[in-house]
Structure 1
Amino acid sequence: MKTDLTDTTASKINKALVQGRRAIGTPAVGMVLTLVVVTDEENAYDALKAANDASREHPSRTLVVIKRVSRSPRGRTTSRLDAEVRLGADAGSGETVILRLYGEVSDHAQSVVLPLLLPDAPVVVWWSVDAPRDPAGDPLGALGQRRVTDSFAAEKPINELRARGESYEPGDTDLAWARITPWRSMLAAALDQVSCEIVSAEVAGEESNPSVELLAMWLADRLHVHVRRAVSAGPGLTQVRMETTGGPITLHRSDGAMATLALPGQPDRAVALKRRETSELLAEELRRLDPDDTYASALRFGVDRLGGIQSAAEREAERAEAASQPTPSLPVRSVPDPAPAVRDSAPALPAAAPSGQGDADRPTPAHMPPVRKAEPQ
């Protein structure tokens, strides 16, 4: 069921929600939280689809905030609020209200959202794009117990990750962190199967993927070893290699679905490591509403403390060179070329005769001139 409201107010939206629930025969409210989605018109469809899919696991009231910019100068001075109320099958397992803010009201979105929040229910704010530099200091972010951003959607993801570390407050999280949850679980399980000491580690992935930096910072923060960040063609994260006293531990994924885990002294095994959809990542973040101390510790470790970025080709060349370990050879002294003048003054040697003709051309003693003896003095 959909209800469109033009130039409306928060009280009219609440009234439309009550009437809609009565019309479809579900007057009881069973939502567990309020999810505020801040997006733009271009990304509204994908963000709303992800929120609806996540609501099947977490029934919630979803408030989608879209700040519209009028094309004409006159329209920019006019404040207006349009709303679309969705209930039943059109809203997943909860309620959905799409809010479009025009003019000056777009600068006060928190005043529009506040009357629509569920009473006595936690609030989660998710910026699908264009997250503020300080989510906790944002007026909308101040309404939520949890604030979800996505560094991967930023223009410069690595710089966005640095900003997250500088402005972190308890309750902040990022979908780039949720993307590496299966990797962290697999690596932790792999280390439980071996008894050795970690010497160093290397994490490889796409150059502009902040999840690679987050996984490298998590390893460096937890293992207290040097971690190097390498570049590969992707997709996403491709490999984690940990050098240990018992041999290397490698988790490699080349196709974005299946990975190969290699442990010292054990046969390689295939493990499922599929790249997940945004709805799955969002549902994971909604499972816990308390501050994530592990994420905070990894984020505060700092991107700049990681090892230098290497390409995959440079990484393989360096390993091949280290594995070969060539033995040093003795120096060879070069013989100088004789001077041209010496070569020119030397008598020319007669050309060698062809095989079988040397004896026929050689002169006999009868043809040789007599030898003159030296006269006594």
Structure 2
Amino acid sequence: MNIDLTDTTSGRINSALVKARRASGIPAVGMVLTLVIVTDEGNHYDALKAASEASKEHPARTLVIIKRHGRSPRDRAMARLDAEVRVGGDTGTGETVLLRLHGELAHHAHSVVLPLLLPDAPVVVWWPEDAPDNPSQDLLGQLAARRITDAAATEDPVENLGLRADSYSPGDTDLAWTRITPWRSVLAAALDQRHSRITGATVEGEAYNPSNELLALWLAERLGVPVERKVSEGPGLTAVRLHTEDGEICLDRADGSLAKLAMPGQPDRHVALHRRSTSELIAEELRRLDPDEAYAAAVKFGVHRLSKGLTEERPHGGDGVGTAETPEPAQAAQAPEAAQAPEPARAPGPEEAEEAPEGAGGAGAAGSRTARGTSAKKAAGRRQAPDRSANPKRSTK
């Protein structure tokens, strides 16, 4: 059932949702989360289709935010909300609401979404394109327990990964990371079967594919070995080679659907590694809403060294990033003092004090220094004189 609302409010939209559920014969709310999609007119169809497929596994209320700022000053100054409510049919097992925010209202999407959220249910926000630089600080992102972006949909995927690393907050994730989940599973299972020391790795894939970079970062962070990246014709990620002392472990997927796993001393085997659709990726992300610690560790590991390549080997017990040795703060603070501190003056001895002339002022001080020097020479002469009392042949006359 579809209900169109023009120049409406959030309260009227809620009433339309109740009416549509009763008309469809499902008055009870059986949804487990609220999925908010922030997109535009050109991309909302594909995003909504993927969300509808994912809702078959995770029944959800899907709110599609379509911002229409307007071209003329008059359109930008106005504020109007149009909505389309869909329940049943092609929308899957959940509910779908298309919200078109016109003019000034496009800058206040969070105030429109807040009354439409399911009570006591988690919120997930997905930006198919044009995600904010810091999703956790976005007004819509602050409402969500899970924030999904896609670096592959940006102009510069590698630079976008740097933004994700700098602005990471628990709950952030990226579909470029979700795409390599089957690869990570197969590689982890292969290493469980083959216990040998790994000396390096190579990741092959098409250019400007952020999944290649994330997989290389994950291998470098977990294995602590140099990882080389090579460009191939694709599609997507094509091969991963782990160099071990016993030989090479190779996971090769040339056609984008079926991969071949080759291990030393074992026959080759085929593994299903098809390129998954966006709906499958979203469904996987909705299975777990807790912070993805593996993604956080990978995206933060040397992401700013991607342009130079991951060729530096992690030192034993280190984090894989070479750093210059720096002195401790206490040592650094003591070093200048040791270089600049003057040698303390030696206090005059008793004999020097007796022979020093009395006086004041500059002349007296100079005379005192001269007297101390003469007295020191006499004292040295007395110390060097032989001790006659110790000579047994000395005459006692």
The yes-or-no answer on 1:182 pairing with 2:182 is: yes
Match of 1:292 in 2: 292
8 A Cα contact 1:53 1:279, kept in partner? yes
CA deviation after TM superposition for structure 1 residue 268, in Å? 1.4
DSSP 3-state at the match of 1:17: helix
Unaligned runs of 5+ in 1: 311-377
TM-score, normalising length from structure 2?
0.77
Q: Which moved more, 1:54-63 or 1:223-232?
A: 223-232
Match of 2:368 in 1: none
What is the 5 A alignment of 1:149-298?
149-298=149-298
DSSP 3-state at the match of 1:57: coil
Match of 1:344 in 2: none
The yes-or-no answer on 1:99 pairing with 2:113 is: no
Match of 2:135 in 1: 135
Q: Deviations over 1:301-326 (max 9, x none)?
A: 0233358569xxxxxxxxxxxxxxxx
The yes-or-no answer on 1:120 pairing with 2:120 is: yes
What is the 5 A alignment of 1:286-365?
286-306=286-306, 308=308
CA deviation after TM superposition for structure 1 residue 79, in Å? 0.6
Q: Deviations over 1:264-318 (max 9, x none)?
A: 11121111110000000000000001001011000100233358569xxxxxxxx
- In 2, the alpha carbon distance for the partners of 1:113 and 1:232 equals 43
8 A Cα contact 1:262 1:269, kept in partner? yes
DSSP 3-state at the match of 1:248: strand
Match of 2:23 in 1: 23
CA deviation after TM superposition for structure 1 residue 195, in Å? 1.9
Q: Deviations over 1:96-127 (max 9, x none)?
A: 00000011110000000000000000000000
8 A Cα contact 2:35 2:124, kept in partner? yes
Instruction: Tell me which amino acid in the other structure corresponds to 2:185.
Output: S
8 A Cα contact 2:38 2:65, kept in partner? yes
RMSD of aligned residue pairs (Cα, Å): 1.2
Match of 1:81 in 2: 81
Instruction: Tell me which amino acid in the other structure corresponds to 2:95.
Output: E
8 A Cα contact 1:229 1:307, kept in partner? no
8 A Cα contact 1:38 1:66, kept in partner? yes
Structure 2 CA distance for partners of 1:307 and 1:106, relative to 1, 3 Å: closer
- In 1, the alpha carbon distance for the partners of 2:43 and 2:302 equals 30
- In 2, the alpha carbon distance for the partners of 1:216 and 1:305 equals 12
Match of 2:90 in 1: 90
8 A Cα contact 1:227 1:307, kept in partner? no
DSSP 3-state at the match of 2:21: helix
DSSP 3-state at the match of 1:220: helix
DSSP 3-state at the match of 2:202: strand
Q: Which moved more, 1:264-273 or 1:122-131?
A: 264-273
DSSP 3-state at the match of 2:193: coil
- In 2, the alpha carbon distance for the partners of 1:110 and 1:306 equals 35
TM-score, normalising length from structure 1?
0.81
8 A Cα contact 1:39 1:127, kept in partner? yes
8 A Cα contact 2:69 2:104, kept in partner? no
Instruction: Tell me which amino acid in the other structure corresponds to 2:103.
Output: G
Match of 1:45 in 2: 45
Structure 2 CA distance for partners of 1:3 and 1:307, relative to 1, 3 Å: closer
Q: Deviations over 1:116-162 (max 9, x none)?
A: 00000000000011000000000000000000000000111111111
- In 2, the alpha carbon distance for the partners of 1:264 and 1:198 equals 13
- In 1, the alpha carbon distance for the partners of 2:307 and 2:105 equals 46
Q: Deviations over 1:142-194 (max 9, x none)?
A: 00000000000011111111100000000000011110000000000111111
8 A Cα contact 1:88 1:95, kept in partner? yes
8 A Cα contact 1:79 1:104, kept in partner? yes
- Identity of matched residues, %: 66
DSSP 3-state at the match of 1:266: coil
8 A Cα contact 1:79 1:105, kept in partner? yes
Match of 2:13 in 1: 13
Q: Deviations over 1:49-99 (max 9, x none)?
A: 000000000000000001013233211111100000000113211000000
- In 2, the alpha carbon distance for the partners of 1:24 and 1:307 equals 55
Structure 1 segments (4+ residues) deviating >4 Å? 306-310
8 A Cα contact 1:145 1:289, kept in partner? yes
